[in-house]
Every structure is written in structure tokens, then in C-alpha cells.
Amino acid sequence: MKRILTSLILLLGASAAALAGTVPLVPPPPKVEARAYLLEDYHSGRVLAEKNADQRMEPASLTKMMTAYVVEQELRLGNISMDDKVRISEKAWRMPGSRMFIEVGTQVSVRDLLMGVIVQSGNDASVALAEHVAGSEEAFVSLMNSYAKALGMTGTHYVNATGLPHKDHYTTARDLAILARAMIRDFPEHYSLYSEKEFTYNGIRQFNRNKLLWQDPSVDGIKTGHTESAGYCLVASAQRGEMRLISVILGTKSENKRASESQKLLTYGFRFFETHKLYDAGEPLTEVRIWKGAKERLALGLAEDLWVTVPRGHYDDLKAEMRLPPQIIAPVEKGQVIGVTNVYLGDKKDQPWAKRDLVALEDIPEGSLWQVISDEVLLWFE
């Protein structure tokens, strides 16, 4: 009977060596000497290792990831340009901590200031950009918190644009991973700046503090942070083939330690996991009967690309199942959720490895009066 929930099983591959009915074992993550950490795949979002990932932590200069993100949003909106000249205020000039050594009263381009934030971690550059974008650092911080909320960073609150310590200035490892993914996804044209190893301004040459840029050619970002209370922190990203990983390390004891502990996580992720794209967004995955519509067939697919991260060597053990309602009645709008696609690893059906909504890929309005009546009659027999 078609009243039973329609179920379509799509085998993605077959492996004679697969262990039927079992999920492959992966060794536990290495011991990481940090107060909190998280390792996740960029494309699929699957978390591969974590500790205290939702615990509020001081972000130190990792704050500047959001500072740069807001500036890049303003560039995209056309509110500012890379060639804008920013007059340096006394407040920006006097900022303590790491600096790019801009001078009060001079004019510096947004391009140079952004490099000063990303490569040199300049507190002076951060405040100068904040004042240029929003008029004051306080107003800019309001934008930072608005974007954090929009991105789903529920454990984050900003008080300044630099990361200088404050009791109400905090984030989490999970939120930093969310922000890292957004930076890479939303501004690919600027992401290459995070792999720059050095920047010279005002005759002063400074080096990127992310030591992994020199140690691992697959690492291409993102940001370091340090205060006495926060410890040494690093958000790193690396890409090997199509697989990109993001690691977040908070609260280590030294520059070398934050690099070595990040490398541990990245090595673990690339060694024991692999990531594949199963379906493209907008790709028709199936066609189904639609009743009382101007057309009889409705194409279904996904609103976003579907990537999965699985234990290495077990891609062929994936199976996908589409679950649809017994009847689909017009009208239907493009993007309307119709069903769901579940992806399983092996024969474990109690918990999907990945799950995505199936959406209509086209509008189908209600059909003519004759079509509606004739389909109503046919439905009685169904």
C-alpha cells in the first residue's frame, strides 16, 4: 500500500571487506595539553575531538577573528573600501599590547590595517578599524555581538575589538570553530591573508605568530591569541585534498605548546578520517508523484551540499535513505521541505550519520479544476 511511508534506499557503494553491521573503531584523540579544544571538519561540520568545548574562555587576540569578520562584511556591503584612508586617533595609537606601530594623526589604508590585524595582531590597528567602521570602538563591538548572534555563537560576548582582558569578554571553543567556518566560507577572497607569514609597516617587519604556517604546508590560517590569564591559544585550519579541518586550542602554556597541540589534533583528523561530498545543492535526487498539480512529477533535492566525514577506509559503507510522505498535494513552493534524507554508516539505523531535509526544487501550482477532480478520484483508489 502506498499509504505506508515511502522509503528509497540508495546504495552509495559496496565494499567486500566492510564489517557488516558494525561502525568502524577509531582510536581516541591524542592527549592534548589545553584547557579546552575542538577539532571538526569544515565541510561536514562533524566534530572529531573535543574537551570543554562549551566552557566560557577568555579569547585574547582570537577576538580579532570577529574584528576582521565585521570589517570584511562592511567591505562586501560597500560601506568601506580597501583603499579608504583611516585617520589614526590617539586612542588607537595608545593601545597597549601587540601593535603594528601606526602613528597618531597619520592616515593608513584599510588594506594595511587589516593586514596589521591579521598578521601582526595589532591592537592599534583593531581600534583604528573599529572607529572607521562604526565611529567608535563601543559601537563596533555592538556589531561584533550582532554577528556572533547571527552565526549562532551562543556562548560568546564581546566587550572590545582587541581581546584585552575583561570579565564580560568571553567565547567558547565551539563558537570559535563556528566563526572560523564562517570566515572561510563567506570571504574566500580574503582568507588567503591568514596564511601570510609576515607584514612590514612603518619600516618594522613582524612575523605571523602562527608557527604552523612554517611547520605544515597544509596549514593556511587562522589566528593566535595570548594573555597571561588566557594562556596561549590558536585557531588553525589545514587542507589536504578536498578535506579541510579546523582546530581550536585554548589555554596552553607556551607558543610551542599551542602549535604542537594543534598539530596533534590535525594529524589525528587527517590520519583517521576522510570527507566526501555526496550530493550537490540543487541536484535532483529523485522525482515523486505530486497530486492535483499543474505537473505530475516533482523533483526533490537538497538546499545545501551534503558532505560526510567518516572513518578512513569506510566510505563504501555509507547508505542513504529518503523518507517521504505517502502523498504530496499541490501547490508546492520551491524550497519547501517535503521529506528527509538520512545517511547511515553500515547497518546502524538507530542514529543517522548525517541527516538533511529534502526540498522541492521547483514551484508547482495547483492544476486545473479537471486535474484536481480527476486526481481526487484517483486518490480514493490509492
Q: What grid cell was written down for 332?
A: 508546492
Q: What grid cell was written down for 303?
A: 538546499
Polymer length of the chain: 382
Closest CA to 310 of 13, 48, 21, 14: 48
Work out the burial of residue 56: count CB atoms within 10 Å of its CB; fewer than 13 is exposed, 13-18 middle, 19 or more buried. middle
Concatenated DSSP letters of 14-54: --TT--TT-PPP-PPPPP--SSEEEEEETTT--EEEEESTT
CB distance 358 to 300 below 8 Å: yes
Tell me the C-alpha to C-alpha distance, in Å, between residue 324 and each of 229, 303, 321: 53, 16, 10
Alpha helices in the chain (DSSP H): 63-77, 90-93, 110-118, 123-134, 137-151, 173-186, 188-191, 212-215, 255-272, 369-381
Q: How far apart are CA 280 and CA 316, in angstroms?
A: 19
CB distance 133 to 92 below 8 Å: no
Known catalytic residues are 61, 64, 121
Kind and range of the H or E run holding 240: strand 231-240
CB distance 101 to 201 below 8 Å: yes
Taking each continuous run of H as one helix and of E as one strand, the counts in the chain are 10, 17
Q: How far apart are CA 314 and CA 24, in angstroms?
A: 8
